[in-house]
């Protein structure tokens, strides 16, 4: 297992004044993929068509709009066509992208963004402050209903302004201690001033390492090298084909048949079978994605906190990590953000205690409880962990009936509609996840957690510039979630990629961070 990442934070820079994103001791602006050696060593080579296969979405969910693309496949396309202002490293610190510097005022109510010089859009236009302001305005426009609005809701766009062509001043509605952690969120890409639509009739124009070429929704997207990319010497390959396949077996078959050079998100059974294979180098992510059973706490029987705690105690987490993920992961403690700054690792690990679970259900008048857990083969390990949990819960007198749905309709027809489901999230800052999944009006409030007092406490913590006090306040938020929330986060499982020996420059990446599904530093 990978050791706990560093907890360095750009907040330290904020307290001293400006955050110099490329400063010593912080993450360098250079991609780690650029420096990695290939299987045979030696310098990077230019040319060739890189083919990758990643889990996809339906034809209607596979979109080119980077502010809307929520699937892994859509995220891979957005990552290579567009750029963020800042991005997370594998250690969940920040790396500069289009922004060279973020500078808060004394109380975190005004942030000044200094943009990188010499960046051009794929159509040759220079990147300017107008593009940044347009992107934030588009994200926050209520008519667009974009999920990134949850990340930037504290920005007062009406009072924000362009200082000069390369400087933006964002004013906050409330003090914000770490704007960079939110600007690095999944959807927060910079799009060109005036861009409203992204489709075949309106091909996406970005500043990223690859230009858009063609797109078959739900099947594949082809990108070609941006010859004028701002990172010197990158990218190396002439083109990238991003192939989509919902199921893990289909993805592996695409790779083994020679139609792909990288296969993302292998299942854990596949990884064990492919260990030692000459056709594939196996790369686990440094930090895992969480795997959770989600209870809607406003639906029976989960309205009773004793029932929620009983179900949390009925999970043998180590057995799931060992048996389902074959050791590629760590046990979870019902909290998001393991390895991230301000994660409350001081909260005791919740044990497997079926006798205590049985006693709680007896106290709640719910002995011999029966619940239905809805699952699907949408991510490796989902079905297997659900079935294993059903066996484990029997010792607490709980019957867990596992209902398996079709993968392509799970998130549209089951998730957040049924009271007991499954999800997994990549590793970002707590600020980002809370805005996406735990605020009362969060776009992905998948546990029906709606506590106005908790929301207010989160706003206070998010605006606390003193690092020790901020950590203390985040710990209090997490204690309430751990005690009373609807998440059963049983595991942090590694994301597993298989890479052909003909691929150089590949570096294992934590899901959703800057190097994840980034092909700018990869060569053939």
pLDDT tens-digit series, residues 202-260: 999 999 999 999 999 989 999 999 999 999 999 999 999 999 998 889 999 999 999 99
pLDDT of residue 41: 59
Kindly report the CA angle at 388 between 414 and 300, in degrees rounded to 5?
45
Query: Is 399 strand, coil or helix?
Result: strand
Q: In what order do the strands lie in the sheet with 496-499?
A: 210-216, 220-225, 239-244, 49-54, 262-263, 496-499, 281-284
Report the pLDDT value the prediction gives residue 42, as an integer from 0 to 100. 72
pLDDT on residue 470? 94
What does the mean pLDDT of the chain come to?
A: 90
Which DSSP symbol is given to 155?
B
When pLDDT is cut at 50, 70 and 90, the band that residue 98 belongs to is very high
Q: Which long-range contacts (CB under 8 A, 24 or more apart) does 463-466 make?
A: 463/108, 463/174, 463/175, 463/176, 463/177, 464/175, 464/177, 465/11, 465/14, 465/15, 465/104, 465/107, 465/108, 465/175, 465/177, 466/15
Residues 354-366 have a mean pLDDT of: 98
pLDDT the model gives residue 23: 32
Element (H, E) at 69: none
Quick check: 477 and 461 in contact, CB under 8 A?
A: yes
Residue 327 scores a pLDDT above 80:
yes
* Ranges 48-57, 331-340, 427-436, 473-482, most confident: 473-482
Lowest mean pLDDT among 57-61, 95-99, 375-379, 481-485: 57-61
Max CA pair span of the chain: 68
Place of tokens 């910079």: 190
Share of the chain above pLDDT 90, in %: 79
Could you give the CA distance from residue 167 to residue 129 in angstroms, rounded to a whole number?
6
Q: Return the pLDDT at 432.
A: 87
Residue 50: predicted pLDDT: 98
Backbone φ and ψ of 147, nearest 5°: -65, -25
> Sign of dihedral through CA atoms 74, 76, 80, 85?
positive
Which domains, ranges and CATH numbers included, belong to the chain? Answer: 289-493 (3.10.105.10)
- Over residues 498-512, the mean pLDDT reads 93
Residue 261 has pLDDT above 50, yes or no: yes
Q: Which residues, 6 or more positions from 449, have their beta carbon under 8 angstroms from its beta carbon?
A: 297, 438, 440, 481, 485, 486
Give the integer Cα–Cα distance in Å for 443 and 150: 7
Q: What is the pLDDT at residue 8?
A: 25
Taking residues 349-368, what's their average pLDDT? 98
Listing DSSP states for 184-242 in one string gives TSTT--B--TT----SSSS----SSSEEEEEEETTTEEEEEE-TT-SSTT---SSEEEE
Give residue 58's pLDDT band: very low, low, confident or very high (50, 70, 90). Answer: low
pLDDT for the residue numbered 91: 83
Higher pLDDT, 339 or 373: 373
Both tokens of 1, joined, read 């297992």
**DSSP letters spanning 13-57:** HHHHSSEETT-TTS--SS-HHHH---TT-SS-----EEEEEE---
Kindly tell me if the per-residue pLDDT of 38 is higher than 50: no
CA-derived radius of gyration, the chain:
23
pLDDT in the model for residue 59: 61
CB neighbour list of residue 377: distance below 8 Å, 6 or more residues apart: 246, 247, 248, 383, 404, 407
Q: How many Å apart are CA 20 and CA 30, to the nearest integer?
A: 14
Alpha-carbon span 92 to 427, nearest angstrom: 8
CA 375 – CA 444 distance, rounded (Å): 17
Specify the pLDDT at position 60.
64
CA distance 507 to 285: 9
Write the DSSP symbol of residue 453: H
The Cα–Cα gap between 165 and 308 comes to 53
- Is the CB of residue 390 less than 8 Å from the CB of residue 404? no
Whether the model clears a pTM of 0.85, i.e. scores above it, the answer is: no
* Mean of pLDDT values over 183-190: 94
Confidence band for 11, pLDDT divided at 50, 70 and 90: very low
> Comparing C-alpha atoms, which of 285, 311, 282, 283 is closest to residue 296?
311
SS3 content of the chain, % helix, strand, coil (to 5): 30, 20, 50
Between 467 and 13, the more confident residue is 467
φ, ψ dihedrals at 422, nearest 5°: -130, 150
Nearby residues of 42 by Cβ (< 8 Å), 6 or more positions away? none
Mean pLDDT for the stretch of residues 497-518 = 94
For β-strands 370-376 and 399-405, DSSP reports them as parallel
pLDDT at 408: 83
User: 478 is written with which tokens?
Assistant: 């997490």
Q: Judge whether 363 and 357 are in contact, CB under 8 Å.
A: no
Strand blocks (E) in 288-419: 289-295, 329-331, 370-376, 399-405
């Amino acid at each position: 297992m990978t050791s706990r990442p560093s907890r360095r934070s750009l907040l330290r820079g904020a307290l001293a004044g400006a955050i110099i994103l490329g400063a010593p001791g912080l993450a360098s602006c250079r991609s780690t993929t650029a420096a990695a050696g290939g299987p045979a060593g030696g310098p990077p080579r230019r040319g060739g068509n890189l083919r990758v296969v990643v889990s996809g979405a339906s034809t209607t969910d596979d979109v080119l709009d980077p502010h809307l693309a929520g699937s892994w496949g859509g995220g891979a396309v957005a990552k290579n066509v567009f750029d963020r202002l800042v991005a997370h490293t594998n250690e969940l610190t920040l790396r500069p992208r289009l922004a060279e510097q973020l500078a808060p005022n004394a109380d975190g109510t005004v942030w000044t963004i200094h943009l990188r010089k010499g960046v051009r859009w794929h159509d040759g236009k220079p990147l300017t402050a107008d593009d940044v302001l347009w992107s934030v305005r588009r994200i926050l426009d209520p008519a667009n209903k974009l999920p990134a609005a949850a990340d930037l809701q504290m920005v007062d766009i009406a009072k924000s302004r362009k200082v000069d062509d390369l400087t933006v001043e964002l004013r906050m509605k409330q003090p914000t201690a770490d704007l960079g952690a939110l600007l690095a969120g999944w959807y927060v890409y910079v799009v060109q001033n005036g861009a409203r639509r992204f489709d075949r009739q309106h091909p996406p124009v970005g500043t990223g390492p690859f230009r858009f070429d063609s797109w078959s929704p739900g099947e594949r997207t082809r990108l070609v090298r941006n010859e004028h990319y701002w990172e010197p010497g990158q990218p190396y390959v002439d083109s990238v084909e991003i192939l989509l396949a919902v199921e893990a077996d289909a993805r592996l078959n695409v790779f083994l048949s020679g139609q792909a050079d990288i296969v993302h998100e292998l299942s854990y059974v596949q990884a064990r079978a492919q260990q030692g294979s000459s056709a594939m180098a196996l790369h686990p992510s440094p930090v895992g994605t969480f795997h959770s059973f989600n209870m809607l706490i406003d639906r029976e029987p989960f309205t009773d906190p004793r029932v929620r705690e009983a179900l949390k105690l009925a999970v043998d987490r180590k057995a799931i990590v060992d048996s389902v993920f074959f050791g590629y992961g760590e046990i979870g403690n019902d909290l998001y953000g393991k390895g991230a700054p301000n994660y409350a690792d001081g909260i005791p690990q919740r044990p497997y205690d079926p006798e205590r679970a049985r006693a709680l259900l007896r106290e709640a008048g719910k002995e011999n409880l029966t619940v239905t857990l809805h699952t699907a083969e949408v991510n490796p390990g989902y079905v297997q962990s659900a079935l294993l949990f059903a066996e484990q819960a029997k010792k607490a007198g709980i019957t867990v009936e596992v209902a398996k749905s079709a993968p392509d309709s799970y998130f549209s027809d089951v998730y957040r509609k049924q009271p007991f489901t499954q999800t997994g999230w990549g590793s970002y800052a707590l600020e980002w996840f809370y805005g996406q999944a735990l605020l009362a009006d969060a776009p992905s409030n998948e546990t029906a957690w709606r506590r106005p007092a908790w929301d207010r406490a989160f706003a206070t913590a998010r605006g606390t510039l003193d690092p020790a006090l901020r950590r203390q306040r985040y710990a209090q938020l997490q204690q309430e979630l751990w005690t009373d929330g609807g998440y059963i986060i049983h595991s942090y499982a590694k994301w597993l990629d298989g890479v052909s020996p003909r691929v150089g420059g590949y570096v294992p990446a934590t899901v959703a961070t800057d190097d994840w599904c980034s092909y700018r530093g990869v060569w053939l």
